[in-house]
Structure 1
Amino acid sequence: MSQISIQAHDLSMRYKDRLLFHVPQLNIGPQEAIYLSGDNGVGKTTLLKILSGLQKPTTGHVNLQNQSWASRLFKSQRCGGVIYMHQTPYMFDGTVFDNVCYGLKYQLSDRHSRRSEVINALRLVGLETLANEHISVLSGGERQRVAMARAWVLKPSVLLMDESSASLDAESIERQVLLAEDLLERGASLVITSHQQNALTKLCRRHWTISHNKLVERADLQLVNEDKNNYAFA
C-alpha cells in the first residue's frame, strides 16, 4: 500500500448565494485518523465528496500526490487511492461475494487470488457464510459490513467513512474497527464522520468540526479556543 497525503487549498462550496463552507487550507497525512463532526447540513458529506474527487468545489483545488481532483475522478479505486464510503452504500445486483469482489478485477487478474482476498474480508466482517447469498437478503448493518469489506480489499491509501457506523449494532461497529485498524497499520489514513463518538471514532487522534462555514480543528477531541491562537482552519 502506498502512503499518500492530501492537501487542499482555498476550498469553498456555494449553492447559489449560500456559502456552505470555506477552508483556506487542509492537510491529511499518512496514517492519520480524523473524526469529522458537525450539525446536519453543514457540509460534512460535501467535503468528503470533494476530497474523494466525486464533487467539484466552487473554488480551490485538492492535490493527492500532486494530482488534482479531476485526474483522480475515476482512478482512485484502481490504484489504492481515495475511497468514499456512503452511509447508505450502493450494492450491485448480485451475490455478497460479487459485491466485495467488484473492484478487485482492476487489481488482481488471478481469479484464485481474488477469491482468497474476498473470502478473507468476509470472514473478518463475519459474513463468510453468506458469500453466495444475493445481496438483497442482507440487513442494513450487514450491507455496511459488505461495504467495509469491499473498501478493505482495495487497500486504499485514504478511506473516507461517511456516517458508516450510523444505526449499527456494537458488533458491526467492532467489525469496522477491526478493518480500519488494519488499514491504519498498513499506512492508510481515515476520515470518519459520525454524530456520536463510538469505538470507531476512538481510533481518531485528530478532530475536525465544521461550524459557521469554517473547518476548525479541535485539540484532544475538545473544541479549541481560537482566541488563544490554537490551530484552526479559518
Structure 2
Amino acid sequence: MLDVLSSPWALVALFVLLAYTTEAMTGFGSIVIALSLSALVLPLEVLMPVLVPLNLVLSGYLTLRYWRRVHWRLLLTGILPMMALGTLAGFVLRSDLGPGAQRLFGALVVAFSVRELWRLRRATPAVAHGPLWSRFWMLMAGLTHGLFASGGPLLVYALGGVELDKSRFRATLVLVWFSLNLLLTVGFLLNGALRAQWPHLLALVPVVLVGIVLGEALHHRVDEHRFRQVVFSVLLLAGVALLVR
C-alpha cells in the first residue's frame, strides 16, 4: 500500500482536502494552503511536482463547468500574458533559491495571511490600482507562481477593485490556474521531477475529488467570511512555523 496512508503523506492528504475544498468554494487557495501546511512535514521540492499537477484536476473540472462565466477580456489581455511571463521567470529561478526557499515561502504566506485577516476584520474594501500597477502585480504574481506555485495572493491583490461577481471571479481565476499549472507541469515533466512523484500524485487524486464535491456543496451554504478567517488563521500559523524551522 502506498505510503500516502502513512505519515507524512497522510497529513498531506488532509491538507490537500482542506485546500481543494477551499478553492472549489472560492476560486483560489488550493496550492498555497496545501503547500504551506505540507511544507511543515515534507520539503518543497518533493511537494510541488505533486501539488501542481493535482491542481489540474480541480481547475480543469471547474473550467469545463463554468467557462461561460469567464471574463475573457480581462483574462486574455491582462492576466495571462503578464502571469505567464512571470511564471516562466520564476520556474527558471527556482534552482537558485537553495535552502532559503522554505523561509522565503513562509514569509510570503505570513504577509498574505496577515493582510487578508486584517481586511476581513476591518471589512476593508479592495482598492483599485492603475493599469500599470495592476500589470506589475500580475507579473509579480506570476513570479511567485513560478517559484512556489502560489500566485493567488498577489493576483487577488492585483485585481483589487475589479468589479466581478463571486461566480465570474471564481471562473476566471480557475482558468488562470489551469493554464499556468499546465505550463509548470510540463516543466516538471521535462526536468524529471514529476516522474519521481507519480505514485503520490495518483494516490491523492481521490482526495481532490472529495474536495471538489465538498467545495461545490459549501459554495452557496457556508459563510465565506468566517470560513476565510479560519483558513487564513491556520495559514498564518503555518507560515510562522516555516520561518522558524
Instruction: Give the TM-score of the pair, scaled to structure 2.
Output: 0.28
Greater relative contact order (Cα 8 A, min sep 6): structure 1 or 2? 2
